[in-house]
Amino acid sequence: MDFRGKTVLVTGGASGMGAATAREFAAAGADVVIVDINVPLASEVAAEIGAGEPVIGDVADSAFCDRAVAAALERHGRLDVLVNCAGIIYRADAAGTPDEAWRRVMAVNVDGVFFMSRAAVIPMKKQGAGVIVNFGSIWGGVGASGVVAYCASKGAVHNLTRAMALDHVKDGIRINAVCPGEVNTPMLASGRPKPPTPEDLKKLGQDVVPMGRLADPAEIARVVVFLASEGASYMTGSMVTIDAGYTAR
């Protein structure tokens, strides 16, 4: 797939699936703009792929999201693809989730997707074309115990994706979501009582995933690139599950 001459903005591009997505688009020739809150990691990935300075800030801030889109336009003159990958998790049931944790998860995972997308559709409408790919989750569709805020936030992302896809289909803008299963990222290991070892993570994949292993972030990133390509020209409002059979049961 050829993205030469295309501008792609990736939130959460400093690590995990966001970094993998930035690398895949850069390899396809795109001008990539990385947005993240982590300065050292974002700068490292940006330098690796030749993306220029990352745009640093919090996607939960609507004014920052407007500035991030403006920065992409200032650098490259257009915005062809937005990938909303930034996200956080809080591991607890409802009784164990304090107000501030609930609000923070919703602010990053839902508000951030909305604010970035709202900012992006304005130049995309003027261009008459654009693509947004959101990061949902299998847990936005089937739920899981011990991560109530995360599940609620990803369910919201799924329906936000559907609603915005219908709102903007006549504008030439396609909006879809990827719904990953268990992926070997820093988020998967985070927030647990004891940090998992590589062997723990390997066993997790063997125990819970029908394919018997965790996904590599690049396996998810390649689907994101496909959804942004002309190969997916008839797809909008879709939730694309990438879970090695997890939800097939």
Q: Match 């654009």 to its residue by tokens.
A: 130
Q: Which of 90, 150, 234, 246 is catalytic?
A: 150
Q: Are 180 and 242 in contact (CB under 8 A)?
A: yes
| Strand order across the beta sheet in which 173-180 lies | 55-56, 31-36, 7-11, 81-84, 130-135, 173-180, 239-242
* Residue 246 a catalytic site member: no
Q: Are 104 and 90 in contact (CB under 8 A)?
A: yes
Alpha helices in the chain (DSSP H): 16-27, 39-49, 62-76, 99-106, 112-127, 148-168, 186-189, 198-208, 217-228
Q: Are 29 and 3 in contact (CB under 8 A)?
A: yes
* CB burial of residue 102 (10 Å; 0-12, 13-18, 19+): middle
| Coil, strand or helix at 161 | helix
Catalytically active residues are 150
